[in-house]
Structure 1
Amino acid sequence: MAKTASSLVLPIIFLVMFALVAQNMGCMAVLGSCGVISDCSMACKSKFGSNARGYCDRDGGSGTCVCVYPCPADKSHTL
């Protein structure tokens, strides 16, 4: 019985951690080029509210302005 219980501990811990991470990830949106948007953080806050965070993803060229914000209750996690 002890082996059965101990073999279930890691999968249960993994499932709990996955549920907590998925709940706290939030939504993401791409606003445009960092060359056009001078302050990604302020642009994200004005579009998605004060809890939004913005950063410039320098993936090439002038980069892309990416926002991370809390998902509305009726929306799934999207990019």
Structure 2
Amino acid sequence: MSNAKFSVVFPIIFLIMFALVEDNMGCEASLGDCRICGIKCSYYGRHAEAHCIGGICVCDYPCKPPPKL
């Protein structure tokens, strides 16, 4: 009987952990070439981080929609 309880509890714990990890992951936007990459990325908020990867501006930011101008 304890085996049956474990087989139900384990998947529930796994699903909760997966949901928490998904909420904490950030989003990423590709913003064209690397000119003024930091300025483009600042549109996504003060917690956004700009990176130039292979000549492409990539912005990592918390998964909230950018503010409307």
Within the alignment, does 1:55 sit opposite 2:51 as a pair? yes
> AA paired with 2:26?
G
Partner of 2:58 in structure 1? Answer: 66
> AA paired with 1:2?
S
- Percentage identity across paired residues of the two chains: 52
TM-superposed CA distance for 1:11, in Å, is 1.3
Structure 2, gaps ≥5 residues long: none
In structure 2, distance between residues paired with 1:13 and 1:28: 28
Larger RCO, structures 1/2 (Cα 8 Å, 6+ apart): 1
Structure 1, gaps ≥5 residues long: none
Instruction: Give the structure-1-normalised TM-score.
Output: 0.62
- Classify 1:9/1:56 alpha carbon distance in 2 versus 1 (closer, same or farther; 3 Å): farther
- RMSD across aligned C-alpha pairs, in angstroms? 2.0
Runs of 4 or more consecutive aligned structure 1 residues displaced over 2 Å after TM superposition:
none
Partner of 1:20 in structure 2? Answer: 20
